[in-house]
Structure 1
Amino acid sequence: MTRWNRNGRQFGFVEWFRPGENDKVESAVAQMQSAGASHLRTHLSWAEYLAPGGEEWFDWLIPFLGERIDLLPCLHYTPPSMSRTGKSSGAPVDLKSYADFVDHVLTRYGRHFRHIELWNEPNNLLDWDWRADSDFSMFCEMVGGAAYWAKRRGWKPVLGGPSPFDPFWLDLMGERGVLGVVDAVGFHGFPGTWDSEEGSWGGWDMHLGEMRRILDRYNSSAELWVTETGYSTWRNDEMEQVRRFRKALNVPADRVYWYAWRDVPPDVPVQEGLWFDPRHYHMGAVTHDDQPKLLARLLGEGGLEKLENVAGLDAPNLAKGVSPVVITGGSGFIGSNLAESLLADGEEVVILDNLARPGVDENLAWLRENFASRVHPLLADVRDLLAIEPAFKDAKAVYHLAAQTAVTTSLDHPIDDFETNARGTLNVLEAVRRAGRRAPVIFSSTNKVYGPLDDLAMLTADDRYVPVDEATRLHGVGETRPLNFCTPYGCSKGVADQYVLDYAKSYGIPAAVLRMSCIYGPRQFGTEDQGWVAHFLLRALAGEPVVVYGDGRQVRDVLNVRDAVRAYRGLLSSIETVNGKPFNLGGGPENAVSIIAMLREIERMTGSRLDIRFDEWRQGDQFYFVADTRRLQAAIDWQPRMNWRRGVRDLADWLMQNRPQLRAARSEKRKVSA
């Protein structure tokens, strides 16, 4: 018997579609196939089929799915008008009518699939009312007859999996002859998600082994399929979902279907009585609005090989008595550069990261490759307090850099932004407090806590805005500037900023805050929404258009990440004197540059004219922000060393050396020009 998930490493997803969701069906199938899925399990509801519009819906759905992916339709739910109980979970009045429906489905749609699943979770009261069928005699007659007929017609029937797993029920199916007329039997198991399984779950090998022994007694040729398994990310533990998926692909079964591809929308009741259980709403590999979770992103970027590589990075191995430095967001741009500096000086470093940002796993792999056993990855989300607490147990210092970093994303998803930036920071502070070691916390804040600065009068020069106020023009914006939170991102980071400072006052945890301007440098994965210097360079080096929001005269003081790392480390070294204080961090007036001036410099460096396109201003954008860093300079004897032009050229060189696709694009562009 071929265990194809072990040898071929194929897998499928479970996804239930509702009538009228044509667009969702099309996008979900395309996304699942991009993720490497070869199989799909979905329902063909008997009750829905006979409801108004049902036949037309399935006339579109089943052929559409069957032509694109290996399809397993699950036939269940009695039409209430035909049910003995008046509910879809009841046995039909005429038990043979289910076999007649199966026969009709095979005739109408059978060319689109080879296997057909008969019922879903038959020992679950919500799917089969066993109170009216206490010995399952009606179920066995109904499903056994349908399976016999499907098999006679040349299809392969699959018996729906019990949930929770019940070997006595399965053995009963054998005694009643049902197992003898099916080609496969389903198994449902969700270790780690449901409380009901905590006391009874004995592991995949035990339960599937027991199931296999029962099958061998009654039908040794029948295959064992895991028709539903999954893990809910209701606590935002997306890395754990990856681990569970990885383990599921190695269980002793012939097929594995992961439940599910997409989260259930929050306004849709899952099942009667389960509306308020958050676990039901977060089972997907993507969110209900198609935002990829870590599982979907890894599969989409590199399939199972990528997933295996990233899962292999999660290996905390601290020796007893070691006191590490913890960096939340340590796989990110600033975090990985800070980690490199600490590791190079012999520190043990815990990298706490959820790897949500595409590409940051490369930073973590690079750190592991260069510093091996002194890098201790803990792949978890700061929103999940239970998961992150162990990271801080022995920490001697904490750099808290993990965050949602884009204003645009915060406007689209304000709750997620708040949970990550505000609640996530509170979780970190609480984990530090509970550890009882009073580990210093250095927090990465933002200049957005000062708001849009629209009260600053501006003059318009050739390529930039210039403050009318002479002091601001000479020194920049100082820490005495009133806080004025704006946009969900500014609010969430501002809340976090103030919580960090208050924990220094209320709980005696040494802490300091850096309100950053624009940081750039190696290991940055710049996007249109965050990391604009790297983003412009990436677009320019690839010969792609650059979009500027606003008129391009906005001014920012850019700071090389090496200078930023010195500031972070300097604050920790001087924590006694900087405790409880915020500091601005940026390149200062000598590294102030407008968007237009930056683009001109990039053109000069690359020797190519950029295709620059302009769009509307974005909400909360500041005409001008230059950090007044005199307070920081006085506190830790720090100042920027890297001139912005030299720093941008260094970043361009690093990108060309570390992004093969850029070299290929540049080479192709030269050929076209020639």
Structure 2
Amino acid sequence: MSKTGPRSLKKQETRRFGFVEWFRPGEHERTEAVLPDIIASGASYLRTHLSWAEYLAPGGEEWFDWLIPRVGGEIDLLPCIHYTPPSLSRTGRSSGPPVDPKSYADFVDHILTRYGRYFRHVELWNEPNNLLDWDWRQDSDFLLFCEMIGGAAYWAKQRGYKPVLGGPCPFDPYWLNLMGERGVLGVIDAVGFHGFPGTWDSEQATWGGWDMHLGEMREIIDRYNADAEIWITEAGYSTWRNDEIEQARRFIKALNVPADRMYWYSWRDVPPDVPVQEGLWFDPRHYHLGAVSHDNKPKLLGRLLMEGGLGRLEEVTALATPQIAAGAAPVVVTGGSGFVGSNLADSLLNDGEDVIILDNLGRSGVDQNLSWLIERHGARVHPVLADVRDLMGIEAAFKDAKAVFHYAAQTAVTTSLIDPLDDFETNARGTINVLESVRKAGKRAPVIFASTNKVYGALDDLMMIELDDRYLPEDQLVRMQGIAEDRPLDFCTPYGCSKGVADQYILDYAKSFGIPAAVLRMSCIYGPRQFGTEDQGWVAHFLIRAFAGEAISIYGDGKQVRDILHVDDAVAAYRSLLANIDRAAGNAFNLGGGPRNAVSVLSVLREIGELTGRPVETSFGPWRAGDQFYFVANTQKLERETGWEARIGWREGLRHLAEWLIANRFGGRQIRREKRKVSA
């Protein structure tokens, strides 16, 4: 009887997983940074290489004397012993068979003596059917390989260790059967398997699915050693197209296949300046296999594991895409799990619309908004978990769309200054991907884009009057009406540039391709379902910090003025613009609270103090790049074209947000209520 069934049940019970991480000589700092994160992710195992070639190179022994105890003392370690020292190789390269196959067994014996207390299993070679790891042209019948590995495995077992046979890549059942016929399978405890479905085309062409390949593998192994386990020593999915949700799904899939262990390749991306392997041509897929980026920015997989382990990961990846009925014409909301997007989607769903939520769930907490929408509206919510940077991954979502609201974006000026390339890819390329998807669908669906007041730059030419708690423009008309759309564009900061580029592409697609598209250049929006941070969503961030009793950092002097707008009013503006898209297409409109809701940062802080019943602790830092002393939107053009107007005064709206935060984040405690008239 095959062991696939019982082993599968065992796998479900243990729910253990590991990561593969190659540490190069001298990477002490990187090892110290990566190891705690791998452990914090819930991983039970770590597979790393112990290069025979590197060990005998200058400084190699000292490196592994540090690495193996450091890693093996913290986590269940699987060292992969491979790579022939060039001086001992038949080809002079690390992939060449050793001149004397027994010398490999001698080295394994040395490693067991020196480091054996730090591991129980030892992996013997890696990808032996891959020319980059084993030059089988020098060993076409694998006689040298079998002599080398068989001897090392036999001796390791004699010493009480459990040898693991390195997995072929791609899987080759004929090679594995040959290992059985030659007696290698009879002296090992586990056989490795490598699988990267969906990442490499060469593998895709021969990929038959985990169950088929592991079943075939189990059948071969059972003929020679029924007690041997199957380990997935490498599984992975490259996010080179930014499809991070698919990586998370593939991880769960690999974890649940009938194998005794699963090692995911890898925790961190390979840095772009590091060659993956000597002689290997550049392939971007090799550089994006990690659960976090090379500079330790969490991808979805890494973030969810760090937030709540497998349970959290399964909760999010279970958000499937329900089928949309034939003939249905959904509204697509990109970034629909975000703050404004989820509020807009809820409004549309309340009116009976089918809504596609296209979101990469890249920001912590936004999956809660998606779950909230599904709980409220059920099957009319259609999650498409994809990234607007991935054109191939999003096109299908727009096929039957009757309208598109495009919110998906990188939203922070500070982040754009740290990583302007990613900011451009998300905001500029992501927007043109959306436009091209709509154009390809051929149905001229209206597209309404969430732009920003940052396209007007820092407004340095506006002369200001400095009062005790705010700045006001000297120009009386601007003071009375705000900044209008005839203000010249002046992109400032990478964020302003990327959003400005997107803004202009939206308007041009209306002209060049007849797509009814329009732009709303937003000021500061606030309200329920906002996960405010220091960099974006400052009104919610201030309230969250104040309710938590934590200090608030102010950049600048706090006298800068914004016209804050409640999200309910913002949603009404977007819907009004869609309803009037025939005459509004090709135009940009400013959207904010207007002069009636113009407040300084200091005045918002005072109001928060009234709500919490205590002064807010603050600290002040330098001004941030591109920050405007004053921005109040002149919304008269939008009002004329659509009949929209802001209805919620800022004090009323601030109290509404405070009550929502209390109910949803702070256990329902009461906020202070003053007996005074609430005004705008």
TM-score (norm 1): 0.97
Paired residue secondary structure (1:261): coil
Q: CA deviation at 1:320?
A: 0.5
The one-letter code sitting in structure 2 at the alignment partner of 1:328 is T
- Answering whether residue 494 of structure 2 is matched by residue 481 of structure 1, we say no
Paired residue secondary structure (2:439): helix
Paired residue secondary structure (1:108): helix
- What's 2:317 paired with? 311
Q: 1:277 to 1:664 in 2, by over 3 A?
A: farther
Q: CA deviation at 1:327?
A: 0.3
Aligned counterpart for 1:465 among listed residues 464, 471, 495? 471
Aligned counterpart for 2:300 among listed residues 294, 299, 302? 294
Alignment gaps of 5+ in structure 2: 1-5, 673-680
Q: CA deviation at 1:493?
A: 0.3
- Answering whether residue 623 of structure 2 is matched by residue 617 of structure 1, we say yes
Q: CA deviation at 1:275?
A: 3.8
Runs of 4+ off more than 4 Å: 1-4, 660-666
- What's 1:182 paired with? 188
Aligned counterpart for 2:393 among listed residues 371, 387, 393? 387
Q: CA deviation at 1:662?
A: 8.4
Paired residue secondary structure (1:75): strand
Aligned counterpart for 1:116 among listed residues 74, 97, 122? 122
Supply the distance in 1 between the matched residues of 2:63 and 2:536 (Cα, whole angstroms): 43
Which whole-Å deviations, capped at 9, do the CAs of 1:278-333 have from their partners, x for residues lacking one?
11110000000000001111111111111111111122320100001110000000
Q: CA deviation at 1:7?
A: 1.6
- What's 2:271 paired with? 265
- Answering whether residue 413 of structure 2 is matched by residue 425 of structure 1, we say no
Which whole-Å deviations, capped at 9, do the CAs of 1:77-111 have from their partners, x for residues lacking one?
01111111100001111211111111111111111
Supply the distance in 2 between the matched residues of 1:296 and 1:177 (Cα, whole angstroms): 40
The one-letter code sitting in structure 1 at the alignment partner of 2:264 is W
Supply the distance in 2 between the matched residues of 1:453 and 1:340 (Cα, whole angstroms): 35
- 1:40-119 to structure 2, matched below 5 A, reads 40-119=46-125
Supply the distance in 2 between the matched residues of 1:590 and 1:664 (Cα, whole angstroms): 28
- 1:207-606 to structure 2, matched below 5 A, reads 207-606=213-612
Supply the distance in 2 between the matched residues of 1:162 and 1:40 (Cα, whole angstroms): 19
Supply the distance in 2 between the matched residues of 1:460 and 1:497 (Cα, whole angstroms): 32
- Answering whether residue 19 of structure 2 is matched by residue 13 of structure 1, we say yes
Supply the distance in 1 between the matched residues of 2:493 and 2:105 (Cα, whole angstroms): 59
Aligned counterpart for 1:192 among listed residues 198, 215, 220? 198
Paired residue secondary structure (2:77): strand
The one-letter code sitting in structure 1 at the alignment partner of 2:521 is R
Alignment gaps of 5+ in structure 1: 667-674
Q: CA deviation at 1:664?
A: 12
Q: Is the 2:56–2:85 contact (alpha carbons within 8 Å) kept by the matching residues of 1?
A: yes
Q: CA RMSD in A?
A: 1.3
Supply the distance in 1 between the matched residues of 2:394 and 2:267 (Cα, whole angstroms): 26
Supply the distance in 2 between the matched residues of 1:321 and 1:26 (Cα, whole angstroms): 55
TM-score (norm 2): 0.97
- 1:102-181 to structure 2, matched below 5 A, reads 102-181=108-187
The one-letter code sitting in structure 2 at the alignment partner of 1:359 is G
Supply the distance in 2 between the matched residues of 1:374 and 1:91 (Cα, whole angstroms): 60
Identity %, equivalent residues: 72
Supply the distance in 2 between the matched residues of 1:439 and 1:364 (Cα, whole angstroms): 24
- 1:605-644 to structure 2, matched below 5 A, reads 605-644=611-650
Supply the distance in 2 between the matched residues of 1:194 and 1:634 (Cα, whole angstroms): 54
Supply the distance in 2 between the matched residues of 1:495 and 1:478 (Cα, whole angstroms): 19
Q: Is the 1:558–1:593 contact (alpha carbons within 8 Å) kept by the matching residues of 2?
A: yes
Q: Is the 1:316–1:378 contact (alpha carbons within 8 Å) kept by the matching residues of 2?
A: no
Q: Is the 2:334–2:406 contact (alpha carbons within 8 Å) kept by the matching residues of 1?
A: yes
Supply the distance in 1 between the matched residues of 2:449 and 2:74 (Cα, whole angstroms): 49
- What's 2:658 paired with? 652
Q: Is the 2:7–2:258 contact (alpha carbons within 8 Å) kept by the matching residues of 1?
A: no
Paired residue secondary structure (1:207): helix
Which whole-Å deviations, capped at 9, do the CAs of 1:409-458 have from their partners, x for residues lacking one?
11111111100000000000000000000000000000000001111111
Paired residue secondary structure (2:564): strand
Paired residue secondary structure (1:107): helix
User: How many residues are paired up?
Assistant: 666
Supply the distance in 1 between the matched residues of 2:491 and 2:282 (Cα, whole angstroms): 33
Supply the distance in 2 between the matched residues of 1:220 and 1:419 (Cα, whole angstroms): 51
Q: CA deviation at 1:584?
A: 0.2
Q: CA deviation at 1:42?
A: 0.4
Q: Is the 1:82–1:92 contact (alpha carbons within 8 Å) kept by the matching residues of 2?
A: yes
Paired residue secondary structure (1:74): strand
Q: 1:299 to 1:665 in 2, by over 3 A?
A: farther
Supply the distance in 1 between the matched residues of 2:535 and 2:670 (Cα, whole angstroms): 25
Supply the distance in 2 between the matched residues of 1:25 and 1:272 (Cα, whole angstroms): 22
Range moving further from structure 2, 110-119 or 303-312? 303-312
Q: CA deviation at 1:2?
A: 4.7
Q: 1:654 to 1:465 in 2, by over 3 A?
A: same
The one-letter code sitting in structure 2 at the alignment partner of 1:251 is V
Paired residue secondary structure (1:220): coil
Supply the distance in 1 between the matched residues of 2:291 and 2:204 (Cα, whole angstroms): 23
Supply the distance in 2 between the matched residues of 1:312 and 1:224 (Cα, whole angstroms): 27
Q: CA deviation at 1:336?
A: 0.3
Q: CA deviation at 1:663?
A: 5.6
Q: 1:330 to 1:465 in 2, by over 3 A?
A: same
Q: Is the 1:464–1:594 contact (alpha carbons within 8 Å) kept by the matching residues of 2?
A: yes
Supply the distance in 2 between the matched residues of 1:64 and 1:664 (Cα, whole angstroms): 50
- What's 1:672 paired with? none
Supply the distance in 1 between the matched residues of 2:24 and 2:575 (Cα, whole angstroms): 54
Q: 1:434 to 1:588 in 2, by over 3 A?
A: same
Supply the distance in 2 between the matched residues of 1:169 and 1:322 (Cα, whole angstroms): 51
Which whole-Å deviations, capped at 9, do the CAs of 1:606-631 have from their partners, x for residues lacking one?
01222201111111111111111111
Supply the distance in 2 between the matched residues of 1:122 and 1:147 (Cα, whole angstroms): 15
